[in-house]
Amino acid sequence: MAFYETQLRAALRLFLLSTFLALSGCASLSATDQQNVAGKTYVITGASSGFGRGVALRLAGMKANVVLAARRTAVLNEVASQAQVAGGTALVVTTDVSKPEDVSRLADAAVQRFGRIDVWINNAAVGAIGAFDTIPVEDHARVVDVNLKGVIYGSHAALRQFRKQGAGVLINIGSVESEVPLAYHASYSATKAAVLSLGRGLNEELRLAGLRGPIEVATVMPWATDTPFFEHAANYTGRTAREPAMDGPQKVVEYIVYTSLHPSEEVPTGWKARAAIWSHHLAPDLTEHVSANISHTSQMEHAPPVQPPTTGSLYQPMQGGTGVDGGVRARMEREDAERKKAESGQ
Ligand SMILES: NC(=O)c1ccc[n+]([C@@H]2O[C@H](COP(=O)([O-])OP(=O)(O)OC[C@H]3O[C@@H](n4cnc5c(N)ncnc54)[C@H](OP(=O)(O)O)[C@@H]3O)[C@@H](O)[C@H]2O)c1
C-alpha cells in the first residue's frame, strides 16, 4: 500500500511540475538575439499605438529598420522620430489595412527603401464590444474588413515577397480569443479565430511547397492587455470597456519580438493565455461558460454605466490613445473604488 502511495505522490508531483512548466515560460531576448535584429527590416501594421508602437521602438533600440503603418500619419511620424533616436531607421507609410491597394503600396515602399522584408507583423485591429444584436451590422462587417481581410491582404503581400527572397517570418496578432470565444466580443473573437486558422493553413501550404523553415507563419495570442485597444473599440454596452486581470503591454511586446527570431505556429503570451487555451482544449464548453460569466460580471455589472454608444476608431482614427500603455488598469481601480464606496453607502 505504502509503495502505491509513494508512486501516486510521485506521479502527482510530476503532473504538477509538468503543468507548471507547460504554463510558465517567458520570452527573454539573448545578446545574440539582439544582434540578429540589427539591420533586419520589419513591417509593422498598427504601429501608432499599443503593441505595434511598443514593438517598433523595441526593435529600433536594437538597430532594426522599421516600416510603420497605420492611419494616423502625425502619430507615426512621432514614432519614427523616437525610433531614429533609439538607433533604428524608420519609414512611415500611411495605410488603411482594409484597403488592399494601401497594403500593396506598403509592401512596395518597404522593398523600395530597404531592398527586402525580413518580418511582416499584421498587428492592426479594432474591436466592437456589446451584445451581438445591439451592435450595428455594419460595425461587425468593418471588424471583419480590418481584422481578417486586413490580415489576408498583409499575409498575401508578405508571402509573395518572402517567396521571392526565399525567406521571411510572418507574424499575425491573434488573441487568446482565437481559441476561447468571449461573450460581448462575438465578431471580434470570430475574426481572431479566423486569423489563427489562416496561419495554420498557410504553414501547411509552405510545408507542401518545401518552404517551411525558411518561411514561417506565427500567430501570437495575447491575454487581455492594457493598451489603447479598449479606448479605440466600438462600444455599445453603455459602460466603460474593461477586462479583468490584465497584463501589461511590454510583456506582449517582448513575445512578439522573440517570435520574430524564434517563430512557432502558436504563441500564447504567458501563463494566463496558456492556461485558458489548455483549459479550452480539455473542457471547451465549461471554459467558454466561465469566461462569459467573468466577462459579464466585469463588463456588464462592474463597469460604470456612463458610456454613450461609440464606433470608436472603427471607421476613422481617434486622436486619443497614442501610447503603448492604455491606462485601463488605473481607470478600473478608480472605478472599483468608487463602486465599493457607493455600495457601502459612504
Ligand atoms: N489589448 C489587448 O487586450 C489585446 C489582446 C489580444 C490581442 N490584441 C490584438 O493586439 C493588436 C494590437 O492592438 P493593441 O492592443 O495594441 O490596440 P491599439 O493600441 O488600439 O492598436 C491598434 C492599432 O491598429 C491601428 N489600426 C486600426 N484600424 C486600422 C486600419 N483600418 N488600418 C491601419 N491601422 C489600423 C491603430 O492605428 P490608427 O488608428 O492610427 O490606424 C493602432 O495603431 C490587435 O490585433 C488586437 O486585436 C490586443
Residue nearest to atom 34 of ligand 1 (CA): 70
Whether 283 maps to a domain, the answer reads yes
Whether 224 maps to a domain, the answer reads yes
Phi and psi torsions of 237, nearest 5°: -85, -15
Instruction: Report pLDDT for 14.
Output: 47
Pairing of β 119-122 and β 89-94: unpaired
Residue nearest to atom 16 of ligand 1 (CA): 50
Give SS3 for 336: helix
Residue 4's H or E segment, with its range, is helix 2-23
Residue nearest to atom 18 of ligand 1 (CA): 229
**Ligand 1 pocket check: which of 313, 316, 322, 332 to mutate, most ligand atoms within 8 Å of Cβ?**
313
Give SS3 for 319: coil
- Exposure string (b/e) for 22-56, b if CB count within 10 Å is 16 or more? eeeeebebeeebeebbeebbbbbbbbbbbbbbbbb
Residue 46 CA, ligand 1 centroid: distance in Å = 5
How many C-beta atoms surround the C-beta of residue 165 within 10 A?
A: 14
Whether 14 maps to a domain, the answer reads no
Q: Write out the residue range of the structural domain in which residue 191 sits.
A: 35-343
What contacts 303, CB < 8 A, 6 or more positions away? 237, 239, 240, 241, 242, 335
Question: What pLDDT tens digit does each residue of the chain (346 aa) get?
Answer: 555 565 556 545 645 554 554 555 678 999 999 999 999 999 999 999 999 999 999 999 999 999 999 999 999 999 999 999 999 999 999 999 999 999 999 999 999 999 999 999 999 999 999 999 999 999 999 999 999 999 999 999 999 999 999 999 999 999 999 999 999 999 999 999 999 999 999 999 999 999 999 999 999 999 999 999 999 999 999 999 999 899 999 999 999 999 999 999 999 999 999 999 999 999 999 999 999 999 999 999 999 988 899 999 999 999 999 999 999 999 999 999 998 898 888 6
Phi and psi torsions of 307, nearest 5°: -95, 115
Domain containing residue 183: CATH number: 3.40.50.720
Whether 175 maps to a domain, the answer reads yes
Instruction: Report pLDDT for 325.
Output: 98
Number of domains within the chain: 1
Instruction: Please give the Cα distance from 124 to 99 (Å, whole number).
Output: 13
Cell of residue 28, nine digits: 527573454
Instruction: Please give the Cα distance from 198 to 217 (Å, whole number).
Output: 9
Whether 120 maps to a domain, the answer reads yes
Instruction: Please give the Cα distance from 203 to 218 (Å, whole number).
Output: 9
User: Which residue do the cell numbers 491573434 mark?
Assistant: 174
Atom of ligand 1 nearest to the CA of 146: 31
User: Which residue do the cell numbers 451592435 mark?
Assistant: 135
225 DSSP assignment: B
Whether 29 maps to a domain, the answer reads no
Residue 125 CA, ligand 1 centroid: distance in Å = 4
Instruction: Please give the Cα distance from 225 to 207 (Å, whole number).
Output: 33
Taking 3-state DSSP, the helix, strand and coil percentages for the chain, each rounded to the nearest 5, stand at: 55, 15, 35
pTM of the model: 0.94
Whether 47 maps to a domain, the answer reads yes
Cell of residue 7, nine digits: 508512486
Cell of residue 85, nine digits: 533616436
Catalytically annotated residue among 188, 236, 255, 258: 188
Instruction: Please give the Cα distance from 225 to 205 (Å, whole number).
Output: 32
What are the pocket residues of ligand 1 if the criterion is a CB atom closer than 6 Å to any ligand atom? 45-46, 48-52, 70-72, 75, 95-98, 123-126, 146, 173, 175, 222, 224-225, 227-229, 232, 313, 317, 321
Instruction: Tell me the C-alpha to C-alpha distance, in Å, between residue 95 and each of 80, 99, 149.
Output: 15, 8, 14
What contacts 179, CB < 8 A, 6 or more positions away? 193, 196, 221, 276, 277, 280, 281
Give SS3 for 173: strand
